[in-house]
Every structure is written in C-alpha cells, then in structure tokens.
Amino acid sequence: MTSRRRHSPLLGLIAAFALAACGGKQGTISVSILVPVGDDPFVDATKVRVRVGDPPLAEQTVAVSGGHFAAELKLEPPGGNTALAGAVIVEAFDASGQVFARGRTPIVGIVTTDYALVVWVGRIGRAGVLPGGLTRGRDRLCAVAVPRVGALLAGGVADGAAVTDAEVHDGFYHALVKATPLPSPRAGVVGIGYDRPDQLSGAALLVGGGPQDGAPSSELTLFDPRPGTAGVWSALQTHDTLARSDATIARLRDGSFLLSGGIGGDGKPLASATVIVPPPHVSVTATQGAMATPRAGHTATPVQLPQGDGLLLFGGSAAGPAAEVYLAATRSFAPQDAKTGSRSLHTATALPDGRLLIVGGSDGKTPALASGMVFDPGLAPTALAALLPAPRAGHIAFLAGGELLLCGGYGADRKTLPSCDVLDPATLEVRRAIPLAVGRLGGTAIPLESGDILLAGGVGEGGVPVTTLELYTP
C-alpha cells in the first residue's frame, strides 16, 4: 500500500494486496483520505500508522513531514478457503506520541479485484465539516441509517413546501449521492433502517408525512438501494393507522417497530400507535388500545421490563401522564410514574448500565431546561435539577467513544447553540464542551458503520434549514 500526501482535502492512499493463493492474482484498493473542511489534522502529525484489520492483518507506521507521508502494505492470504476481511484504519500521532486523529472504513472483503474507498480522518472527540452538503436545506426531513449503505436523507420542507428530495450519504465514500426522488412530497415523514443479511445491503422503511397543508400519507414505503440504480421506492402497504406526520418510531428487540403519536390530518396530536413488521413478512397492526394521552414530540426508548421487551414513552403531551410504557408481548400500554410534568424537545438515551436518561427540552413554560431525569433499570425515576451547565432544547443526543454527547438545539434565549456538552455516561458529569460549525434545532445524529456519527438536518438562526453536514470522530 502506498500513500501520497498532497495539498487538497483528499489524500491519495493506494493499497495493493497480493493474494498468491488465488492463482497469483492481485487486487488494488484505492483509498482516498478525506479531512474536515478547514481542519487538516495531518499538518500537526509527526507520524501515521496504517492498518488493515483489527487486530491488524498488516500495518505500517511512517513519518510525516509537512503533512506528507508514504507507506506500502501487502497482504498474503492465510491459505485454504479462508477469506480476508477488515477495515482500513488510519491513525495520526502528535509530537508526544499520542493518537489525536483517526479514521476507518467499514469492514470490507479483501479480494483480488480493484476498487476504491474513502476514509474520513478527523480529530478525536471533535466534529468536522464534510465538503459539500445537502443540495438544499430541508427542515423536517427523514434521516435513516441504512446498513451497508450509509444514511438516507429524504423528504422534508424547503422554501415553505414539502419536497420529494432524496440523497444518500455513502458510508464507503463519504460522498452525498442524489437518490431517486420520493414518489410524492412528504414533510414530517419518519423512517427506520433494517438489515437484510441475504442481500448486498440493508433497506429503509418510511412512514407518514405529506404536504405542508394536506393529509399525511397512509403508505408504508420501502427504499431499496438496489445496485446499479439510484434507489427504488415501492409501496408495501397502506393503512389508516399510518396516516400521521412527525410521529415517533422505535425499534424493538424482535425486529419490529412501534410507530406512535404524531400529528393527524386534523392537525391534532394522536394517541394511537401501530406495530410494523419489516419485510419479508411485512405487516401493519394497531396496538391493543391507545396510549394514555395524545403525544407529539415525545421519545420512545427501548427498555427491558419485568414483563419482557418494551419501550418507555416520555413527554410530548399537553395533558395527561408524562410517561408510560409499551409492552411488546401484549402490544399494549401501561402506566409509568415519572414524578414530573411532561416536556418536549428533550432527548432520551439508554445508557450502557441499563439506566435511561431524559435531558433538557421545554415544559411549555420555560423555553429550555437544564434539568433532567434518570430512570434506573427498574424504571424508578430520579430528578436531576441541574444536569447541564446551561439550558438546552431541541438538541440531539448520542453515545460515542464511551461518552454521551448532547449537541445543538437552542438555549434559554431561543438562539441556536453551535456546541455539544460531553458527559460521562456513568457519573453524568459534564466533561467538556466542543464546538460545532453551525447550530441546528431538530437535527439528527446518524451512526455510520465506520464508527463516525453524521450530524444532519435541522434549522439554524431565523428558522433557515441547515445544509451543512458534520461528522463526529469518537
């Protein structure tokens, strides 16, 4: 593998793998390294380590001078019918010998054919701007992680109207690819990705949403990233219980999804919910009874209940209980004491130790809250009066690199926050704050198979939809 550094956002990296066991054939993987706009970490690097696989099948560490380096790696197959697979990993070291920037590809097969990949290399614990961005800013878009593809960004509102725009952030090339447009304009559409082990890639299901001033769609729509196409849309089912906008969708451990609440065709929050089973045995079934109260802007987070698999639903209600649980075994809802009032524009995160954390949001009286609440594994709630250093609402939350990040949203003055609070998920103490390129209200964090987190969508100051895409490197 050879690597050539040049003064541009792309770093040429060519990998040659000799597979003698395959009749002497060789394959070359061309890997371009992409760095954040305006922040090339290699200018601060003293050496670079390039590895294939973890643990490594092959690796080499080379010196860097003025941002330039060269490396060469060759792989020999293990023999027999054993296949080689792994990620290409690039790590940059500073003068003290610490890795301060890194990146990796998704796991790929090492085969005797020529193909290309791109590695995003960013500073650890920082977010960087991707070159380009959305073709146009869209609010209320659907952002979905699609296994072995990347992230689908579909629908939304642009220039005051629902749109059919669809783009895919390719997780193997870190490029935004224009996809086949949605069959009809859909704002407030929600979706979720799922794997298809017997096919080359996963797929995505989209539900609801519609014109700005029209009735929401009742269609369950499949996005199939079929090879050789820009993606194929198809209607799987139509069902009255799917007709809603800005609903909440959550995955259950059995592979099904719960679609709950949202806004109905009359513009009012809904108390109904529906269970969706993805292909190949697709089905749409209403739950046994409705939620205790209509909800919109609520969260639904997986929990393990004494009765089995379930979800904790929190917030999004103008009246009625702040929380309730969904029981997957009976497809029904049960009361849950939250010992607090409802809130919206908050986040809910399942922590590694089994607790569930509610953070920030608005209670309808205060624009943004710094408080939170933690539910222990038995769902006993404990209020946290001053969890954050400053109020935050409409933010996004995600776990990465052993840390919990709360990014974007707006503060007590209703101005968007171009920053993230980084918390220790065990102690819930704030470790530090990191900057973002832009503030965004209502964005989405999408985990990619490279381990990076894509920040997309939302609106900035003045309600202008954000086109900027950022990648967080854990």
Contact 450, 462 (CB under 8 A): no
- Domain extent listing, the chain: 2-124, 247-296+298-342
| CB atoms inside a 10 Å sphere around CB 304 | 13
User: In terms of pTM, does the model score above 0.85?
Assistant: yes
Q: Across-strand partners of 455?
A: 445, 470
Taking residues 408-416, report their average pLDDT: 97
> Which tokens go with 215?
């009735």
Span 49-91, pLDDT tens digits: 999 888 888 889 999 988 877 777 777 666 655 667 889 999 9
> Could you read off the pLDDT of 295-324 as tens digits, one per residue?
999 999 999 888 899 999 999 998 889 999
Average pLDDT for 172-182: 95
Asked which of 54-63, 145-154, 245-254 is least confident by mean pLDDT, the reply is: 54-63
- Give per-residue burial for 343-372: e unless 16+ CB within 10 Å, then b: bbbbbbbbbeeebbbbbbbbbeeebbbbbb
Q: What dotted CATH number matches 2-124?
A: 2.60.40
CB burial readout 436-466, b (16+ within 10 A) else e: bbbbbbbbbbbbbbbbbbbbbbbbbeeeebb
State residue 14's pLDDT score: 37
What pLDDT was estimated at residue 430? 97
Residue 203, CB half-sphere, CA atoms under 13 Å: how many? 21
C-alpha R_g of the chain: 23
Residues with Cβ within 8 Å of residue 23, at least 6 apart in sequence: none
**SS3 category, 106:** coil
